[in-house]
A = this chain, B = another copy of it.
Amino acid sequence: MNLKIAVLSGDGIGPEVILQAKKVLHAIGTVYEHEIVFEDAFIGAIAIDKTGSALPEQTLNLCLNTDAVLFGAIGDPKYDNNPDAKVRPEQGLLRLRKELGLFANIRPIKPYTALLDSSPLKKEIIEGTDIVIFRELTGGSYFGEKKLNDSGTIASDLCEYSEVEIARIAHLAFKSAQNRRKKLTLIDKSNVLETSRLWRRVVKTVSENYPDVALDFLYVDNAAMQIILNPRQFDVILTENLFGDILSDEASVITGSIGLLASASLGTTNALFEPIHGYNPQAKGKNTANPIASILSAAMLLEHFGLHEEAKKIYEGVEIAIGYGVLTTDLNADSKFGTNEIGEFISNFI
C-alpha cells in the first residue's frame, strides 16, 4: 500500500514522541513492503512563531491532500498563562478538526496486564476494563459563538448541537458496540442542559437501528464517579465534546498513565491520529516523555487503512516493551529507558 501521511508534531514533547511513531511506521513499511511517505508541517505555537498563524494554510492544504494526519501535541506556557492572547496554539488544532470534518474522536481505554499495579486504582477495580469512548469533536462549546463585551466584564460560550451532528457519531458508536460487548452508554446532563436533551432524543432514535445494542444513560457527574468506582460496567461511551475531553483524561488513570492512550479522529473523508496527552512543557527535550501513545496512534492509523496484521505487530511490540519494563518514568520511576530507547525497542521488534 502507498500511504502519504502529514506529520504535525507540534509543540512541547510532540516532536520527540512523534519521531518514535515515525520510526515504528518506517519499520512497518520496510517489513511489510508499504510505501509510507511522511510530510512534516507546522501547527500550534511553533507555527505561530514562524508564520503568525496556529494553522498555516500550507499545513491545512497538506492535511487535506494526504491519506491521514499524525498529530503530536500543541500548546505553550506563554499562552496558557495569558488569557489575553489573541492567537492561541489550540486554535490550530480546533480549526484543523473542523476543516477536516473530524467529528468522531475515538479513545480506547484498556489496561495492560503487566501494568495493573501502576494505576492509582486498585487492581481488582480496573482488571478487565475495556472501554471505547466516542467523543464528538467538532461541535459543542468548543465551536459555538464566544463573546466578550467591550469592557471585558462579561464573557460567554455557546454550546450548540444539531440532530445531524449527534446522529452521525451515534451511528459510529453503535456500530462499534455491535462488534464489542453490545452496550452503549450516553453520558450527558439532560436534567439541566437543552443540548443534552437533544442528545438523548436523537440517540434513542438512532438506537432503533441497533436493537442488539443495549442503550443506557448516565448524567455526567455520576459518570465521572462511576468510571472510577466500576469501570468494567462500561463498553462504548458516547458523549459530547467537552464531557468527552474531561472523561477521557479522567479514564486514563485506569491504565496507569495518560502516556499510553492513543486516539483516532475520523470524518467522512479524513482521519487524524494523536496521543491524548498534551504537550507537557516540563518534559520537553528530556528524553523522558512516553512515546507509546504516539506509537499506538500510528497503529490505529494502520488499522484505519485495513492493515490489521501490521497494527497487531505494533500492539505486540508495545505489549512486549511493557512486559519487559521498557518504560518511561511515568510508569517505572527507576527506569533507565527514555523516549528514544522505547521507540527503538518497538521498531526493532517489528
Contacts and interface: CB of A to CB of B under 8 A. Distances in A.
A84 interface: yes
A158 interface: yes
A43 to B, nearest CB: 14
| Stoichiometry, copies per complex | 2
A191 B154 contact: no
A245 interface: yes
Interface stretch (A20-28, A192-200, A282-290, A295-303): A192-200
A233 interface: no
A120 B81 contact: no
Given A83-B197, A160-B156, A224 B225 contact: no
Nearest to A250: B224
Contact of A222 (B94, B159, B243, B278): B278
A294 interface: no
Contacts of A201: 83-84, 152
B246 A220 contact: yes
Given A217-B80, A258-B225, A194 B250 contact: no
Given A147-B194, A224-B250, A252-B225, A158 B155 contact: no
A146 interface: yes
B246 A221 contact: yes
A52 B268 CA distance: 47
Interface in A228-283: 228-230, 242-243, 245-250, 252-253, 258, 278
A129 to B, nearest CB: 12
B250 A228 contact: yes
Contacts of A224: 224, 246-247, 249-250
Interface string A76-88: 0001110110001
Given A79-B191, A120-B228, A192-B94, A159 B160 contact: no
Interface string A160-176: 11111000000000000
Given A83-B201, A155-B195, A221-B245, 9 more contacts: A79-B191, A83-B200, A84-B201, A141-B159, A142-B192, A221-B248, A222-B278, A224-B249, A228-B253
10 contacts: A80-B190, A80-B191, A83-B198, A120-B122, A146-B193, A155-B194, A155-B198, A189-B245, A221-B245, A224-B249
Interface of A: 75, 79-81, 83-84, 88, 90, 94, 120-122, 125, 141-142, 144, 146-148, 152-164, 189-198, 200-201, 217, 220-222, 224-225, 228-230, 242-243, 245-250, 252-253, 258, 278
Closest 10 CB pairs of A and B: A83-B197, A155-B198, A224-B250, A146-B194, A221-B249, A156-B160, A153-B163, A83-B200, A155-B194, A228-B253
